[in-house]
Every structure is written in structure tokens, then in C-alpha cells.
Amino acid sequence: MVDPPEFAFEAGQWISVPFGPKVVRAWTIWSSPTHRRTITISVDVAPVASARSGFAPSRRAIPVEFKGPTGGFVFNRADPRRAVFVAEEIGIVAVRAILADLYETGYGRPTILIYWARDPRGSSTTPSSARWPAAIQDSPMSRRCERRPAGWRGETGEAAAAVDRLVHSVDKLVVYVCGGGDTVNAVRDALVKKGMDRKSVKWEKFW
């Protein structure tokens, strides 16, 4: 950060970066709010994606202006209910920021993460990555993908199926879901069938 020297935000929020008068990109902040002088975002730097995003791997040490923070997908620490987090694909970025913030600030209450990806191999957003705090990697976690790639140790199937199997009781439970609209709706429907109030499912749709 240059101006201001520190950036205050809540875990799960995002920034918007203009790349011209009509091109604005939005990225959720990957790092936790405990780091205010430097923030980290997750940007696809594949050739086609980087052209769309305005970033390229070779462009370093350039000033970038942005607006924010924006977004209401944030964790309510005053809520006494048990928390379950469900993330699909790049939706893990918002969830990672929230979980990192909780562990870095001594939250001390158990949480469960269900992460779904079509093919999570080699992704920096995968919870087993070294980019994740060890405390999160050691927390209760279900990793699922669409099909079983070579060497995969997690489960296969849809995120909603994992929620249906792993969530036995919705009593005093709050669920945070981040990903595509279809997954958000399917997870919410699975929980409502178990008796959960729809308002107890907090969500952020990335697409």
C-alpha cells in the first residue's frame, strides 16, 4: 500500500481495479485483514485470462489503483452458532481469507470447510497448498472434485451432496457458501430440506 499506507477491510470483501474507462475487474482479497500494509489477490495469469484481466506475469512493480473495500460476505463473530464453510472453485478465496483471519486472531472455535473443484490439482487456492496457514490445513475439511484425477485422495461428487452427507443437524448452525449460483442454490436447498432457515445460509455468487 502507498496511499493510504494501510488498507482496512473485512475478510471476504473485494476490490475493483479499473483498466480503462470501460474495463473494471473485481477481485476478492486473498489475504486476511491482519495484513493491512500489503494485500494479496488471486488473479489467473494464463495467457487468455491475463489478457482479459489486464495483468500479465511479467508486469511487476507497477502502481495499481483500486476502489474498495466492497461486499457483505463477511463473518459475524458475534454469532454463537457453529459455522460451516462451503467453497466452489475460486470461491475458496473469500473463504480462505475468512478462515485465515479467524485463526490468526485466535477465534478458537471449531469450523468445518467443504471445498469443491472440478480439477483442483496444482492450484494455489487448494487448501492443502503451502499458501494456506497450517492451522487451516489441519482443521476439519472435506475436499471434493467432479471426477477423480490421478493421485486424488479426496472424495468425488457435487458440493451439495457433501453437505447433505456431512451436515447431520442444522440446529444452531450457520453456513457460508461461495461459488457459482447453481452450487449456492443447491447447497441452500439441501440445508433447507434438513430444516434450516434460508436466512441462515450466507452466500456470495462469483458467477
Each residue's pLDDT tens digit, 39-65: 998 876 655 554 555 666 556 677 889
* Predicted local distance difference test score (pLDDT) of residue 55: 63
| Per-residue confidence (pLDDT) for residue 79, from 0 to 100 | 95
b/e map of 134-154 (b: 16 or more CB within 10 Å)?
Answer: eebeebebbbbbeeeeeeeeb
Q: How many domains does the chain have?
A: 2
Examine residue 29 and state whether it is found in any structural domain, yes or no.
yes
What pLDDT does residue 25 have? 87
Q: Is the residue at 7 inside a domain?
A: no
Of 189 and 118, the structure prediction assigns the larger pLDDT to 189
Query: Are 147 and 93 in a shared domain?
Result: yes
CATH number of the domain bearing residue 110: 3.40.50.80
Residue 43 lies in a domain: yes
CA 119, 156, 133, 173 torsion: positive or negative?
positive
Encode pLDDT of 61-103 as tens digits.
778 899 999 999 999 999 999 999 999 988 999 999 999 999 8
In this predicted structure, what is the pLDDT of residue 61?
A: 73
Q: Measured over all CA atoms, what is the biggest interatomic distance in the chain, rounded to whole angstroms?
A: 51
Judge whether residue 147 has pLDDT over 90.
Answer: no
Considering the chain, what is the average pLDDT of its residues? 84
Report yes or no on 5 lying in a domain.
no
Answer yes or no: do 98 and 177 share one domain: yes
For residue 34, tell me if it sits in a domain.
yes
Is residue 6 assigned to a domain?
A: no
Complete edge-to-edge strand list for the sheet that includes strand 67-70: 24-28, 14-18, 67-70
* pLDDT tops 80 at residue 29: yes
pLDDT of residue 19: 80
Same domain? 66 vs 86: no
Same domain, residue pair 121 and 42: no
197 lies in the same domain as 105:
yes
Higher per-residue pLDDT: 2 or 23:
2
Name the residue among 97, 155, 91 with its Cα closest to residue 123: 91
- What is the amino acid identity at position 101? D
Position 132 pLDDT exceeds 70: no
CB crowding 166-188: b at 16 or more within 10 Å, else e: ebeebeebbbbbbbbeebbebbb
Shared domain for 65 and 22, answered yes or no, is yes
Residue 139: pLDDT over 80: no
Tell me: do 38 and 123 sit in the same domain. Answer: no
Q: Which amino acid is at 99?
A: L
pLDDT digits (tens, 9 = 90+) for 148-186: 667 666 677 788 988 998 899 999 999 999 999 999 999
- Cα 206 to Cα 135, 136, 170: the distances in Å are 26, 23, 25
**Mean pLDDT throughout 2-25?**
92
Structural domain that includes position 157: 82-205
Quickly list H helices, the chain.
47-53, 92-104, 134-137, 159-166, 181-193
133 and 169 housed in the same domain:
yes
Residue 128 lies in a domain: yes
Are residue 55 and residue 100 in the same domain, yes or no?
A: no
